[in-house]
């Protein structure tokens, strides 16, 4: 069965939409493999606009790995904007891939990578435009397997009805394994239809098939238990962890878009995982343990990636890039290598210490010392202890003093509002800190030309973290605290004008909270919101809190019960059968330590293992340097 | 900067939907991938010395776009042409490179030859509209610009305007054989093709302004979006009124 390109039907629509280039594909390093030569075909989606989705590392890595696999092809698709959606519906053009412009429904697997829950409504748009039934139970053997991955897939329950399967953790190896299972099943003549292939996938223990699990509820609405409903399906599904990142040096050939996107650079992950143990951080908890890529592999990837892409900026990615055991040598090596050229380097790091400034100094050798970012996260010493972010006020002031002293003129500070046990004074503490920062900067530089920007995000309790049991702060309280803080900053004659303040209102966090810790009953709300026109919920101009609240009320669902209610130790959480390796008891103790008054948890990279459970459960171990090797200069041609 | 190289490139097929900004980014990256020793401007944020002359609008294909690259080490135009072409995504294709000898390239681009394909249009209706347009002294059209609605004459800049179709039949005008379609693309339903030479004036008159003019004078309204291609731009020949090769003075 050959599949025709939809492009001739799409083409007449393109002059009528905003930024048509996002729909035409043809990016440098993109691949269009022959349809008939492949047995296993993946359509990969990042469920947001092209400009956000294209740079996504996860999708680019899987795209490259799957296309390298013989007999397998992968193409990409993104969320289309409402102007294009309307035209596609009118013209009967289905959801298409940007590579071969093939209809998504013709593929074997439709894989969607969710970094955030706010992409759920866009999933429904894509399914509907593709002509794939929204509900998994209604799909036939002619529909692809709809498979979710990404961080949000660690609790896929709110979208369980719309998914055939979900995978947790690193995608490289499991994507290949899934392709194998499908290839074998197809080579046998697809016996037993989609149920059979799903069963084979589920039996591996590494693929979650929601419909093979029944959720039973208690009379009060809590979950009683989640149990497999057929033989051969494991009771727990485990996450995947790639060990030895040096063996997986992707992306090798980064996609270079014609359209403008949010990140115009070549990014290299320098390690995965983080064991600093910040209690609010889902990413840190679910990606344990730390696995570093070696300095030499990083150096090679940067050289090759720049050559393949023509980008002039390199980003060294990870959850806390300054923590790489050889980051100093990496920074110096790269800065030396590209000295005097037009390549700029960036290192997202928010560590509050002098070392971070040294790194930033290396990376700004070629350019201006504009802004440095630090993330104390909590406004008071007490708050920072609750979240296990071990930064003292003294540390912070000393660090910013050094930064200003070395020529940096602007300091950005990140905080969260709505943290467990937070009170007004904790948030007002942010104003005091910011003033002290400016004061230190003025003293250090002898000038009034120093600035500080305070950015605040709303805290949302996430699954698989010690705060998964916590009550989320209601949005009225968050908004009130932020107003108080704003007033405290603005009214200050001495420092107010040197301090910038950026924040969002608390309402989107409530919807994010509902979707993060929701169960299967939340699916009806997502569907109702989508039917009511909900799209692109991550974009403030498209997001509607009222639409979500109305849909929840209409479905008879109590949003507070899901968000602002504290859970007790023994409540069955919707994601308890999905295993990130973290020992539940350890998480609970850590939660108790947070709200009690106990000592901080240190980082297991430098102190003994504190038995979070991940390594023994997953059969993994910490992989860190130093290797002692250095970056070799590139030979000049 | 030791040398300036002038590049003619095409914007083809689906890549006609690139905007001018998209193209500048793609060219800068291609220059880096190809290791072309582009010269940089001095100053705090150095820019590569690449300049563009009269870019075709987003959605319009072109066989004749021009840019100029300043390099810090002398380059062979032929090898630069090959390197730049392989480094650009296919659809942005380098056609010709010459070393600049004198004068300003932009000044030589006096006019453009455009081809406008109009699928599903009655040839007679098109011919009638063109006749009426050409016999008018002025045709005032409006265009929405960033500064609001502008009114200007779309007739004066039009040197010639003819009608043909791609089935080989002339409709009161020379036949336009479409030799520029991508190979392998199947012929769609019959389609009227307008070909026009438009002088570069201020305000610039674009093919869609001429189409708007046709609608105003004759109620001519094609059912689907026009497919526009710039075939050539350059100095206008005194005899034929058509654009000639702007690289001529550089080739000597
Ligand atoms: S099991 Fe121990 S070593 Fe492994 S991540 Fe957890 S605390 Fe660290």
* Residues B120, B230 share a domain: yes
Given a contact cutoff of 8 angstroms between Cβ atoms, the answer to whether B17 and B58 are in contact is yes
Same domain, B101 and B183: no
Condensed to tens digits (0 to 9), the pLDDT of residues A588-636 reads 999 999 998 777 788 898 888 989 999 999 999 999 988 888 886 665 4
Helices (H), B97-202: 105-108, 123-135
- How does pLDDT run across A202-214, given as a tens digit for each residue? 999 999 999 999 9
Question: Which atom of ligand 1 is found nearest the CA of A612?
Answer: 6
CATH of domain A265-367+602-637: 3.30.750.210
Contact A9, A41 (CB under 8 A): no
The dihedral over CA atoms of A396, A399, A400, A406, expressed in degrees to the nearest 10, equals: 180
| B202 occurs within a structural domain | yes
- pLDDT value of residue B173: 38
A143-160 pLDDT per residue, tens: 999 999 999 999 999 999
CATH number of the domain residue B73 falls in = 3.30.70.580
ipTM of the predicted structure?
0.86
Residue that finishes a domain, picked among B106, B121, B155: B106
Query: Looking at the complex, does the CB of residue A7 fall below 8 Å from at least one CB of chain B?
Result: yes
Mean pLDDT of A482-501: 94
What pLDDT score was predicted for residue B54? Answer: 81
Helices A327-337 and A354-363: crossing angle in degrees, nearest 10, is: 20
**Nearest Cα residue to B149 out of B137, B138, B136, B140:** B140
CA distance A632 to A484: 53
B6 dihedral zone (left: phi>0; alpha: psi -120 to 50; beta): beta
Token pair of A276, please? Answer: 């600093």
Q: Is B175 a member of any domain?
A: yes
Reported as a single tens digit per residue, the pLDDT across B177-212 is 343 334 334 455 668 999 999 999 988 999 999 999
Closest CA to A207 of A171, A165, A249, A240: A165
Structural domain of B86: 3-106
| Pair B91, B122 in one domain | no
Q: A269: helix, coil or strand?
A: strand
Residues B65 and B140 in one domain: no
On whether residue B227 sits in a domain, the answer given is: yes
pLDDT in tens, A542-572: 999 999 999 999 999 999 999 999 999 999 9
Residues of A in contact with B32 (CB under 8 A): 306, 310-312
Q: Assign a CATH topology to domain A7-238.
A: Rossmann fold (3.40.50)
Same-domain check for residues B74 and B137: no
Q: Which atom of ligand 1 is nearest to the CA of A289?
A: 5
Cα nearest neighbour of B17 on chain A: A21
The pLDDT, as a whole number, for residue A365 is 76
Which residue, among A14, A27, A21, A182, has the nearest Cα to A84 in the 3D structure? A14
The count of other CB atoms within 10 Å of the CB of residue A349 is 24
Distance A615 CA to ligand 1 centre (A): 6
C-alpha to C-alpha distance for B112 and B121, rounded to whole angstroms? 24
Report the pocket of ligand 1 as residue ranges, CB < 6 Å: A 275, 288-289, 604, 609-615, 622
Rounded Cα–Cα distance for residues A359 and A381 (Å)? 26
For helices B20-33 and A295-309, angle between their N-to-C axes, nearest 10 degrees = 120
Looking at the fold, whether B80 and B177 belong to one and the same domain comes out as: no
Q: Do A21 and B32 touch (CB under 8 A)?
A: no
DSSP annotation of A353:
S
Q: Which two tokens stand for residue A477?
A: 């309280």
Is B244 inside a domain boundary?
no
* B73 & B87 share domain: yes
Do B174 and B83 share a structural domain?
no
What is the best residue among A607, A609, A620, A623 to mutate for testing ligand 1's pocket, by most ligand atoms within 8 Å of CB?
A: A609
Interval A385-421: pLDDT, tens: 999 998 899 999 999 999 999 888 899 999 999 999 9
Residue where one domain finishes, among candidates B75, B106, B137: B106
Residue B29 in any domain: the answer is yes
Question: Token digits for A322?
Answer: 């300054």
Assess whether B136 and B210 both reside in one domain.
yes
The per-residue pLDDT of chain A, averaged, comes to: 94
Tell which residue, A268, A255, A249, has the closest CA to residue A346.
Answer: A268
Closest among A115, A100, A114, A187 to A146, alpha carbons compared = A114
Residue A392 in contact with residue A355, Cβ under 8 Å?
Answer: no
Q: Do A25 and B14 touch (CB under 8 A)?
A: yes
Same domain assignment for residues B97 and B128: no
Residue B222, classed as helix, strand or coil, is: coil
Q: Which helix (H) or strand (E) holds A89?
A: helix A82-91
pTM of this structure: 0.92
Strand partners, B70: B4
Half-sphere exposure (Cβ direction) of B202: Cα atoms closer than 13 Å: 0
For residue B118, being part of any structural domain is answered with yes
Residue A545's closest CA among A418, A463, A458? A458
Q: In the prediction, which pLDDT does A432 show?
A: 95
Å from A21 to nearest chain B CA? 5
| Cα distances (angstroms) measured from residue A378 to each of A455, A457, A542, A589 | 12, 11, 30, 21
Min distance B224 CA to chain A CA atoms (Å): 7
User: A171: exposed, middle or buried (C-beta count within 10 Å: 0-12, 13-18, 19+)?
Assistant: buried
CB within 8 Å of B68: residues ≥ 6 apart: B4, B5, B6, B7, B50, B51, B52, B53, B100, B105
pLDDT tier at A343, thresholds 50, 70, 90: confident
| Rounded Cα distance, B45 and A489, in Å | 34
User: Does residue B242 form part of some domain?
Assistant: no
Supply the mean pLDDT for chain B: 88
Q: What is the number of structural domains in chain B? A: 2
CA pair distance A357, A608, nearest whole angstrom: 28
Do A459 and A468 contact (CB within 8 A), yes or no?
no
Whether B22 maps to a domain, the answer reads yes
Q: Are residues B153 and B196 in the same domain?
A: yes
Indicate if B97 and B117 belong to the same structural domain.
no
Nearest to A186 by CA among A196, A176, A177: A196
Residue-level pLDDT at A368: 66
Separation between Cα atoms, residue B196 and residue B148, nearest integer Å:
27
Instruction: Pick the closest to residue B217 from B144, B145, B158 (CA basis).
Output: B158
A271, A272, A289, A623: residue to mutate for ligand 1 pocket, most atoms within 8 A of CB: A289
| DSSP sequence for A124-148 | HHHHHHHT--SSGGG--TTSPEEEE
Check whether the bond before A339 is cis (ω within 30° of 0): no
The CA–CA distances, whole Å, from A200 to A66, A103, A179, A333, A427 equal: 20, 26, 12, 48, 51
Please work out, in degrees rounded to the nearest 5, the angle formed at the alpha carbon of residue A254 by the alpha carbons of A251 and A258.
160
In this prediction, residue A375 carries a pLDDT of 92
Residues B81-114: tens digit of each pLDDT: 999 999 999 999 999 999 999 889 999 999 999 9
Query: What are the residue ranges of CATH 3.30.750.210 in chain A?
Result: 265-367+602-637
Both tokens of A143, joined, read 């529909």
Q: For Cα atoms B138, B144, B145, give the angle at the middle one, nearest 5 degrees.
A: 105
Q: pLDDT class for A504, splitting at 50, 70, 90?
A: confident
CA A137 to chain centre: 28
Residue A607: the pLDDT is 86
Q: Are A147 and A164 in contact (CB under 8 A)?
A: yes
> Is A232 a residue whose pLDDT tops 90?
yes
Q: Both tokens of residue B33? A: 């991938």
């Amino acid at each position: 069965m050959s599949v025709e390109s939809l492009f001739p039907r799409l083409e007449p629509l393109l002059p009528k939409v905003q930024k048509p280039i996002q729909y035409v594909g043809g990016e440098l390093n993109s691949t269009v493999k022959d349809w008939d030569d492949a047995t296993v075909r993946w359509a990969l989606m990042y469920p947001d606009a092209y400009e956000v989705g294209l740079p996504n590392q996860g999708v680019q890595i899987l795209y490259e790995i799957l296309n390298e696999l013989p007999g397998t092809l992968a193409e990409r698709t993104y969320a289309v904007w409402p102007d294009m959606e309307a035209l596609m519906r009118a013209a009967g053009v289905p959801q298409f891939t940007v590579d071969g412009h093939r209809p998504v429904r013709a593929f074997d697997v439709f894989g969607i990578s969710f970094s955030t829950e706010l992409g759920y409504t866009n999933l429904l748009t894509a399914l509907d435009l593709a002509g794939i039934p929204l509900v998994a139970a209604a799909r036939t053997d002619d529909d692809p397997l709809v498979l979710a991955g990404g961080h949000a897939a660690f609790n896929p329950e709110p979208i369980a009805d719309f998914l055939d399967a979900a995978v947790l953790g690193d995608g490289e190896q499991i994507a290949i394994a899934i392709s194998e299972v499908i290839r074998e099943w197809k080579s046998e003549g697809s016996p037993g239809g989609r149920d059979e292939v799903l069963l084979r996938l589920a039996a591996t223990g590494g693929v979650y098939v929601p419909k093979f699990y029944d959720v039973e509820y208690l009379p009060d609405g809590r979950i009683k238990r989640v149990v497999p409903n057929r033989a051969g399906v494991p009771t727990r599904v485990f996450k995947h962890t790639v060990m030895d990142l040096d063996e997986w040096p992707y992306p090798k050939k980064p996609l270079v878009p014609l359209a403008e996107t949010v990140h115009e650079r070549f990014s290299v992950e320098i390690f995965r995982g983080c064991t600093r143990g910040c209690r609010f951080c889902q990413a840190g908890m679910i990606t344990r343990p730390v696995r570093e890529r070696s300095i030499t592999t990083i150096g090679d990837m940067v050289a090759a990636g720049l050559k393949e892409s023509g980008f002039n900026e390199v980003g060294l990615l990870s959850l806390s890039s300054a923590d790489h055991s050889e980051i100093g040598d990496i920074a110096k090596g790269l800065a030396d290598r590209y000295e005097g050229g037009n390549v700029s380097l960036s290192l997202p790091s928010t560590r509050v210490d002098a070392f971070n400034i040294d790194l930033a100094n290396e990376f700004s050798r070629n350019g201006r010392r504009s802004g440095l970012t630090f993330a104390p996260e909590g406004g008071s010493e007490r708050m920072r202890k609750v979240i296990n972010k071990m930064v003292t006020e003294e540390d912070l002031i000393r660090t910013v003093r050094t930064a200003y002293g070395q020529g940096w003129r602007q300091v950005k500070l990140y905080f969260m509002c709505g943290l467990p046990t937070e009170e007004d004074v904790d948030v007002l503490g942010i104003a005091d800190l910011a003033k002290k920062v400016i004061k230190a900067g003025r003293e250090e530089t002898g000038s009034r030309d120093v600035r500080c920007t305070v950015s605040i995000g709303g805290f949302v309790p996430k699954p698989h973290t010690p705060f998964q049991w916590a009550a989320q702060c209601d949005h009225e309280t968050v908004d009130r605290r932020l107003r108080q803080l704003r007033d405290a900053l603005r009214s200050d004659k001495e420092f107010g004008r040197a301090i910038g303040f950026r924040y969002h209102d608390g309402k989107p966090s409530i919807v994010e909270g509902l979707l993060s810790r929701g169960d299967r009953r939340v699916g009806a709300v997502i569907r109702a919101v989508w039917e009511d026109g909900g799209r692109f919920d991550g974009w403030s101009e498209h997001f509607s809190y009222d639409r979500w609240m109305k849909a929840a009320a209409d479905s008879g669902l109590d949003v507070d019960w899901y968000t602002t209610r504290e859970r007790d130790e023994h409540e069955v959480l919707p994601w308890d059968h999905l295993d990130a390796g973290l020992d539940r008891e350890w998480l609970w103790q850590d939660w108790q330590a947070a709200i009690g008054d106990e000592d901080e948890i240190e980082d297991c990279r430098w102190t003994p293992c504190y038995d979070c459970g991940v390594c023994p459960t997953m059969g993994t171990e910490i992989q860190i340097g130093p290797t002692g090797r250095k970056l070799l200069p590139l030979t000049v041609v | 900067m030791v040398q300036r190289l002038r590049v003619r490139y095409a914007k083809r097929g689906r890549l006609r939907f690139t905007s001018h900004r998209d193209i500048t980014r793609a060219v800068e990256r291609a220059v880096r991938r190809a290791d072309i020793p582009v010269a940089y401007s001095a100053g705090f944020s150095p820019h590569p010395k690449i300049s563009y002359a009269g870019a075709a609008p987003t959605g319009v294909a072109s066989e004749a776009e021009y840019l100029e690259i300043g390099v810090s080490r002398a380059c062979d135009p032929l090898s630069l042409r090959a390197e730049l072409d392989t480094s650009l995504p296919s659809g942005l294709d380098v056609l010709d490179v010459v070393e600049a000898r004198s004068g300003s390239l932009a000044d030589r681009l006096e006019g453009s030859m455009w081809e406008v394909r109009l699928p599903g249009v009655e040839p007679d209706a098109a011919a009638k509209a063109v006749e009426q347009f050409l016999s008018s002294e002025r045709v005032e059209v409006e265009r929405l610009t960033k500064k609001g609605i502008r009114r200007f004459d779309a007739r004066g800049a039009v040197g010639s305007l003819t009608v043909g179709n791609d089935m080989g039949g002339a409709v009161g005008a020379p036949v336009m054989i479409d030799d520029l379609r991508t190979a392998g693309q199947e012929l769609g339903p019959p389609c009227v093709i307008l070909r026009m030479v438009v002088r570069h004036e201020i305000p610039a008159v674009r093919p869609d302004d001429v189409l708007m003019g046709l609608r105003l004078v004759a109620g001519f309204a094609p059912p689907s979006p026009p497919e526009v291609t710039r075939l050539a731009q350059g100095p206008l020949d005194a005899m034929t009124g058509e654009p000639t090769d702007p690289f001529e003075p550089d080739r000597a």
